Amino acid sequence: MVVLLLIGIASWLCAVQSCVLNDADSSHGIAARRSSDGLSSGQTVTARPAEIDDVLFNPGMGFADPHFGIGDPLPRDQQPRSTVAYVRWPWSDLEPAEGQYDFGRVDRVIEQARAMGETLAFRIFVVGGAPAWVLEKGVGAVKLSKGSFPDFNDPIFLEYHAKLIKAFGARYANSPDIDHVDIGSVGCWGEWNTACCQGVKERCERYYPTSVNQIAVADSYLGAFAGTPLVMLVGGPLKYAISRGTGWRGDCFGDYGMFGPNWNHMEHVYEPVAQDPVTGSAWKTGPVQFEVCGVMQDWYDKGFDIDLILRKGLEWHASVINAGYAPVPAVWMPRVDEFLKKLGYRMVLRELTHPGDARPGERLTLRSRWQNVGVAPIYHRWPLAYRLRSGSDQIVAQWVSTANLMQWLPGAPQNVEDIAAIPEDVAAGTYSLDVAIMTQDGRSAHVDLAITGKRPDRWYSVSKLVIRVRD
């Protein structure tokens, strides 16, 4: 693969005298000129693909799939297709005996998710899932109706918990199969609260981690999963985690009165987070994730304003919504589809300008203008790529840009200028110029664009380039 060198991301305008509109099936222009530095010059072609309005099912955005361990996926007429599989595991399942980590449990779910076109997001929880062998080392615990609430300040607990996170980070950090990881562990359901401690709340609060130990737990994830998107639960040390590049997560999205008329999560928890100057900017570097409060049918039955709820999800720059293992009310499905057209990232190639022809061995200037019309950026280092494809679908050249798509925030146009070298052995002829956003390892196209021209391999046919024989 020839590496495409990024000349610069800067504003540019197509020269009026040489900019010619081109569709994906034709090339036009004035006679080409040759420059002494080997760059093709003269004829210029500009392709402007048509934008589409389809719901896109892309990695790292949309609905999460919570069905693992529950049942088969819900039919698509009941809940939109998801691309993120979401699983919670108790510590006791992941380390049933001291130092014996059950990576196979995670690997099996990764394989199942991969077969469905999904990547995995997960959380580890401890309350109700602390291994017996840890407690037998003398770690205190409050007995609950289901399991126990361990002493999160006990040095023994903190030592072995840190070892667990380190081991799983060593195995799964930077894995292309992992979409994101919750900074969980602490409190009921790993949500950094004591809501499950009915009747023994004061005792649980004595075992809740101090501020120093909350940071220690967060640091265990930050150190182990460097390079993997992380999300901190709203009950945890949110500003500290966000200052280290994480996003945030709320597990009662849509609550406008689930627990009473005078308090709700949407107005009293999530709105302040979204409006805070620090936490409200977290989405620029880390994903915002939500899990619905109850299920959407509960919202419908209680008369909640679905338009308000979905609008808030977009205002707060959410990428993934876990709607639970329950159907979306049929009457709301069209509104959910419109919501999904904006949730997360949505990349549009506005135009691609390049010389209309080149010769083998020459360098080719590619200028492209993109726009993210979603509400959040991409959170993985997926490269932008170009290729030349013959009429018989043979790939004769492929280049990867060093443009950082993680910096493509919503709204602002992104202007990219790249130079690619045409291989010496390319035969004369007319070639398709395709674009794609690739997997992190560059092996395959990974993302649906909001433009026409999609091919079965998820590349997009955008323009044509004529390769001419040398003089």
The pair of three-digit structure tokens given for residue 30, joined into one six-digit string:
């004035």
Task: Look up the CATH number of domain 62-340.
Answer: 3.20.20
Residue pointed to by tokens 């967060």: 218
User: What residues have CB less than 8 Å from 178, skipping those under 6 apart?
Assistant: 119, 120, 121, 122, 172, 228
* pLDDT value at 279 more than 60: yes
Residue 464: pLDDT band with limits 50, 70, 90:
very high
When pLDDT is cut at 50, 70 and 90, the band that residue 8 belongs to is: very low
Convert the pLDDT of each residue in 388-415 to its tens digit.
999 999 999 999 998 999 999 999 999 9
Say what the pLDDT of residue 471 is.
62
Mean pLDDT computed over 210-236: 97
pLDDT digits (tens, 9 = 90+) for 18-54: 233 433 333 322 223 333 334 444 589 999 999 999 9
Render pLDDT for 416-433 as a digit per residue (tens, 0 to 9).
999 999 999 999 999 999
Per-chain mean pLDDT for the chain? 91
How far apart CA 56 and CA 346 sit, in angstroms, is 8
pLDDT for the residue numbered 73: 83
Tokens 């709607």 identify what position? 323
Looking at the chain, which residues constitute the CATH 3.20.20 domain(s)?
62-340
The helix or strand, by DSSP H or E, that contains position 216, with its residue range, turns out to be helix 211-224
Block residue for tokens 């840009």: 401
- List all residues 6 or more positions away from 200 whose beta carbon is below 8 Å from its beta carbon: 142, 143, 144, 149
Average pLDDT of the residues in 242-250: 97
- Could you tell me what percent of the chain has a pLDDT over 70? 91
CA angle at residue 1 from 42 to 418, to 5 degrees?
A: 35
Query: pLDDT per residue over 146-181, tens digit each?
Result: 999 999 999 999 999 999 999 999 999 999 999 999
Q: Which two tokens stand for residue 311?
A: 């609008």
Q: Could you tell me which CATH number the domain at 2-54+347-467 has?
A: 2.60.40.10
DSSP states of 273-314 as a string?
Answer: HHHSTTGGGGGGTS-EEEEESS-HHHHHHHT--HHHHHHHHH
Tokens in use for 350?
């506005």
How far does Cα 228 stand from its chain's mean position? 10
pLDDT of residue 117: 92
Rounded distance between C-alpha atoms, residue 161 and residue 180, angstroms? 19
- Give the C-alpha distances (Å, rounded to integers) separating 186 from 69, 124, 250: 22, 9, 15
The arithmetic mean of pLDDT across residues 226-242, rounded, is: 97
Angle at 244 between CA 240 and CA 249, to 5 degrees: 70
pLDDT at site 346: 98
pLDDT confidence tier of residue 318, bands split at 50, 70 and 90: very high
Tell me where in the chain the CATH 2.60.40.10 domain(s) lie: 2-54+347-467
pLDDT, tens digit, 9 for 90 and up, residues 91-113:
999 999 999 999 999 999 999 99
Please give the residue that has the higher pLDDT: either 28 or 64.
64
Identify the residue whose tokens are 């909001």.
450
The percentage of the chain sitting over the pLDDT mark of 90, rounded to a whole number, equals 87
